[in-house]
């Protein structure tokens, strides 16, 4: 019993963060990063750059699982996927290189600005 409690105490926050991110990804198609990154920083005390990089790997798995359900339900367009994926690969390479070169403060400002702009656009569109 004590072993189970230690495991829950050690990894419970990780699992909760992942579950919330997974639900958001399933609902919004990869919206979990906006919650996962700040949650890892605040509740797991993970460095900003490491939390962004880790979130990408986590979101990859969420996206694969969600994609299976979307494809089965006919919500998937292969032609759009190909071209958006090509752009995403190019953007991902640029972003990954930039992450190593920008300051943590600038990263927080850019991330916060993107979240705010996206939120405002979603509310008022």
- Each residue's pLDDT tens digit, 49-91: 888 888 888 888 888 888 888 899 998 898 998 999 999 999 9
- Alpha-carbon gap, residue 36 to 59, rounded angstroms: 9
The model's pTM is 0.65
Q: Across all residues in the chain, what is the average pLDDT?
A: 85
The DSSP 8-state label assigned to residue 77 in this structure reads -
The position carrying tokens 């920008």 is: 102
The DSSP 8-state label assigned to residue 19 in this structure reads H
- Cβ–Cβ < 8 Å for 14, 45: no
């Amino acid at each position: 019993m004590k072993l189970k409690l230690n495991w829950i105490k050690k990894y419970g926050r990780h699992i909760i963060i992942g579950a919330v991110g997974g639900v958001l990804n399933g609902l919004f198609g990869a919206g979990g990063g906006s919650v996962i990154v700040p949650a890892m920083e605040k509740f797991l005390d993970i460095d900003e750059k490491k939390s962004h990089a880790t979130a990408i790997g986590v979101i990859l798995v969420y996206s694969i699982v969600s994609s299976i359900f979307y494809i089965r339900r006919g919500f998937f367009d292969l032609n759009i996927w190909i071209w958006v994926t090509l752009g995403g690969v190019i953007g991902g390479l640029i972003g990954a290189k930039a992450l190593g070169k920008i300051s943590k403060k600038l990263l927080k400002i850019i991330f916060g600005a993107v979240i705010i702009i996206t939120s405002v656009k979603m509310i008022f569109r």
